[in-house]
Amino acid sequence: MKRLPPLSTLHTFLIVARCCNFTRAADMLHITQGAVSRQISGLESHLGYRLFHRQARGLSLTAQGREFFPRIEQVFGLIEDAVDQLDTQQQPLQLKAPTCITRWLLPRLMQWQKERPDAPVELTTTIAHGVDFRRERFDAAVVYGGLPDDSMHVHHLFDEQLTPVCSRALLYGAHPLERFSDLEHHMLLHPTLDEQDWSQWLKAAGTRLSNVGKGQHFDTMDLAMTVASQGSGIAMGDWALIGEDLSVGRLVTPFDLKVKTGAGYFFVYPTRTESTPQLRELLDWLLTQAKER
């Protein structure tokens, strides 16, 4: 099998064949005229025939050169098409988020993929509320808690606002929920072992309940709200995350009181990396969604 000439030499031939001038080709390739001449001479020696007529007024393709030129042009055209096609096939954006925000985030990411199939996102959920970009290979994350430190770019989505949630059947059942004190007659569902969420809300409501410590505890707020939607008790929910549950009637809010905890949800990405167009577009879209929630 005959050894193929170097791709760089074939590219030089292509440029020279288009302009038929060593000096102009050298300018386009950012090499010297002598280098262009040597590459063409080497290619001709490799092939065993002349590609150009050297004339006082410039260059012209030989019969073999005229036959060779469109084939090499086609090869480089295929290479350019392949590169362009790969450029349009974006690698999925790796996003991390805590499970507590999935009720809000997941439907929006599904809508994003419908609108932007060219900008895929792979979501990894975890019970952890933060992210460590030094050890975790994510392009970006949604985190929960206080304002993140300056080791990352931070964009505020919304604040946590606590309010009780339950099923509609429970709201108008044997023990209707009309006053804060009516919570005494129901099972309280806790998203944490320390019962802090219910304690904060009840303090703001100016109410004491004897059944706070008798409720059921769960690992996440999302799980507590899912159980509440089935009519098994009243969970402490986050107003920012329950819009879809309210609109379809899975959950209702028996009281108007919403309590800000000082925590929030933030979209973050490492300061060591610049945001890609794909990342910036997703961020802008989620910020718009957060304002419209």
pLDDT digits (tens, 9 = 90+) for 156-211: 999 999 999 999 988 887 788 889 999 999 999 988 888 888 999 999 999 988 88
Residues 40, 42, 45, 49, Cα dihedral to 10°:
-10
Looking at the chain, which residues constitute the CATH 3.40.190.290 domain(s)?
90-293
pLDDT given for residue 215 in this prediction = 81
Q: How confident is the model at residue 13 (pLDDT cuts 50, 70, 90)?
A: very high
Task: Report the percentage of the chain scoring pLDDT > 90.
Answer: 54
Q: What is the mean pLDDT of residues 111-134?
A: 91
Sign (positive/negative) of CA torsion 273, 115, 121, 151? Answer: positive
Q: What is the pTM of this model?
A: 0.67
Q: DSSP letters along 116-180, please?
A: -TTS-EEEEEES-----TTTS--SEEEEEES---TTEEEEEEEEEEEEEEB-HHHHTSSS---SG
- Token code pair at residue 4: 């193929």
Could you tell me if 238 and 129 are in contact, meaning their C-beta atoms sit under 8 angstroms apart?
Answer: no
AA letter at 169: A
- Angle, vertex CA 189, rays to CA 184 and CA 192, nearest 5: 125
Domain 7-88 has CATH 1.10.10.10: yes
| Domain 90-293 CATH (choose: 3.40.50.2300, 3.40.50.1110, 3.40.50.300, 3.40.190.290) | 3.40.190.290
pLDDT given for residue 273 in this prediction = 67
Residues 4, 74, 76, 118, Cα dihedral to 10°:
-130
- Token code pair at residue 287: 């910020």
Considering only residues 207 and 214, tell me which one the structure prediction assigns the higher pLDDT.
207
pLDDT given for residue 79 in this prediction = 84
- Token code pair at residue 172: 């108008």
Looking at the chain, which residues constitute the CATH 1.10.10.10 domain(s)?
7-88
Q: Is 95 a residue whose pLDDT tops 90? A: yes
Q: What is the chain's alpha carbon radius of gyration, rounded to the nearest angstrom?
A: 33
Q: Is 85 a residue whose pLDDT tops 90? A: no
